[in-house]
Amino acid sequence: MTDVASATAVDAAHTRQPERPNLVAVGVIVWLSSELMFFAALFAIYFTLRSNAPALWDQQSELLNVPFSLLNTTVLVLSSVTCQLGVLRAERGQVGRLGTVFQVGKWGMREWFVLTFLMGAFFIGGQVFEYAELAMHEGLTLSSDPYGSIFYLATGFHGLHVTLGLIAFLFLLGRTYMTRRFTHEQATSTIVVSYYWHFVDVVWIALFLTIYVVK
């Protein structure tokens, strides 16, 4: 009987269907790969224009407010930390906080994602403020020269991606209030959105180093 039971267990192990990767997560990873190629093209354009007009780059890069942009960058990078903390709570099935709003250690996915949203919104607000300062006081616009064109294109497209991420956070938070219980599909959605958010953060770090730091 023991041999028969063992053989049955082996047969069941062989006939068990292998676990398939989540199609949504795979699709987002493939999409982010295409987005990476898009930003790689922007970097290529930036360095090509820079190599053709080094004097212009030296002159126009002095107009940038590097300390302010560093603050904005720090907020965006820290938002990746808060986003991941929200994902960890979602994986445990903890949607809302277990204590008061001041007990940060007991925050749930909602609180961490709300904080991430606010930090991302702060970044976009800072970017809009920087654009206004450069255009109104320094005369740097999209059509002023090649430097202005690639600066606004590269940072503007990234800002658009951050805005899409903020919309995704609002969608996720809205679903948690509309449904009575937190499902596996919702937990998967939080993980997928975190992939996207980490992606835009990494891209911005590369943009910040390229545009603001490397002279």
Structure tokens at 169: 């956070």
Provide the domain limits for residue 103.
23-213
Q: What is the Cα–Cα distance from 138 to 8, expressed in whole angstroms?
A: 78
Quote the CA–CA distance of 129 and 135 in Å, as a whole number: 10
C-alpha pair distances (Å), 33 with each of 28, 83, 203:
9, 21, 12
Determine, yes or no, domain membership for 139.
yes
Q: Are 176 and 186 in contact (CB under 8 A)?
A: yes
Assess if residue 9 is contained within a domain: no
Count the domains in the chain: 1
What value, to the nearest 5°, has the Cα angle with vertex 164 and ends 90 and 50? 125
Tell whether 10 is covered by a domain.
Answer: no
| Residue 144 included in any domain | yes
Residue 69 maps to which CATH number? 1.20.120.80
Q: Tell whether 79 is covered by a domain.
A: yes
Q: How far apart are CA 157 and CA 126, in angstroms?
A: 15
- Model's pTM, two decimal places? 0.85
Residue-wise pLDDT tens for the chain (215 aa)? Answer: 444 444 444 444 444 444 445 666 677 777 788 888 999 999 999 999 999 999 999 999 999 999 999 999 999 999 999 999 999 999 888 888 888 888 888 899 999 999 999 999 999 999 999 999 999 999 999 998 999 999 999 999 999 999 999 999 999 999 888 877 777 778 888 989 999 999 999 999 999 999 999 87
